[in-house]
Amino acid sequence: MFVYGTLRAGGRNDIARFSPAPRHVADAAIAGTLYDLGRYPGAVLGGSGRVVGEVYAITPELELQLDLLEEVRPDDSGEYIRREVAVQVGAAELACLVYEIQPKRIVGRPVIASGDWFDRTPSVS
């Protein structure tokens, strides 16, 4: 799982607080744009920007808990859509799940220029 917002270590929803405990694999970044939604961020995948985050090994049980937190729905009508992305970790490329925000949720929201939720300086247009 690639996490980029409140699920990161030290975040409000730190993934380490869930059970069964995830295993931190690496810090990483993926292609995308990070938006400030107020109390949490949303990433749109792809493009030339970078989204900073962390990679964790999780169990199916933990995945279900995270899907509930992120309001993932089977018909993709929830707040986030669970996607799979390739994440470069050292010399390896790992297939990771990531939560992409519904596009309608970012309308009028500022972009986080750094791509890092913990460095929320919005870009100036």
Domain boundaries, the chain: 2-106
How would residue 120 be classed by pLDDT, with cut points 50, 70 and 90? confident
Q: Which residue has the higher pLDDT, 123 or 73?
A: 73
* H or E segment and range at residue 63: helix 60-69
Residue 61 and residue 111: Cα distance in Å, rounded?
32
For residue 37, the model assigns a pLDDT of 96
Residue 78 and residue 42: Cα distance in Å, rounded?
13
- Record: fold of 2-106: Hypothetical upf0131 protein ytfp (3.10.490)
| pLDDT digits 0-9 by tens, 60-99 | 999 999 999 999 999 989 999 999 999 999 899 999 999 9
3-state helix, strand, coil in the chain (%, to 5): 15, 45, 40
Burial 61-72 (b: 16+ CB within 10 A, else e): ebeeebbebbeb
Tell me the pTM.
0.93
Name every residue whose Cβ is closer than 8 Å to that of residue 125 and which is 6 or more positions away in sequence: none
